[in-house]
Amino acid sequence: MVRENSANAAYAHESRARSLAKAISWRFVGTLDTLILSYLVLTFLAPHFGVRETATPSENLHTAGYIALAEVVTKTLLFFLHERVWSRLRWAVWTDRRGRRIEGLRRSGSKAASWRILASLDTALLALLFTGHPLTALTIGGGEVATKLILYVFHERVWDRIPYGRAKGGHV
């Protein structure tokens, strides 16, 4: 592999279309995770916090659904913006002999961590909005740190193998 060390090195730039495709695929994974996690917290943990003790499983599913659906809007926008920032950073990125862009595992991990902080804050705020209970909101937002951090690294590694929206040299 040829590491990129100079400003003139061949660099596979990522298009806005690629960022959008990644945002959509991640949102599908993330929404499903939020729906399941929110439902589990609302059903099994929130009653121990002294809230939602009389909520039915159906009501908990509706509340979890509202949180998950609201995230489709907020997180798609936030993810797209996050991708655009990272697409401009050349840290831990190089091209191989064929000119393909390669991201290092440290880069994927750093992207995952920065995204997770931003996204968990968004989730906690949405959970607070729909439940009205800070501890429930923090549990949902905090719980997804573990689930989504793992899912996001896998998502990044899969997308690193997909050439869609990448061009060698120049901007796309």
- Dump pLDDT digits (tens) for 65-77: 999 999 999 988 9
Q: Is residue 9 part of a domain?
A: no
Q: Is residue 10 part of a domain?
A: no
pLDDT for the residue 36: 96
Give residue 141's domain range: 27-90+101-168
Distance of CA 47 to the CA centre of its chain: 28
Whole-model pTM?
Answer: 0.73
Tens-place pLDDT, residues 17-67: 999 899 889 889 999 999 999 999 999 999 998 887 889 999 999 999 999
Residue 169 falls in which region: left (phi positive, over 0), alpha (psi -120 to 50) or beta: left
Categorize the per-residue pLDDT at 160 as very low, low, confident or very high, splitting at 50, 70 and 90.
very high
Domain tally, the chain: 1
Q: Is residue 6 part of a domain?
A: no
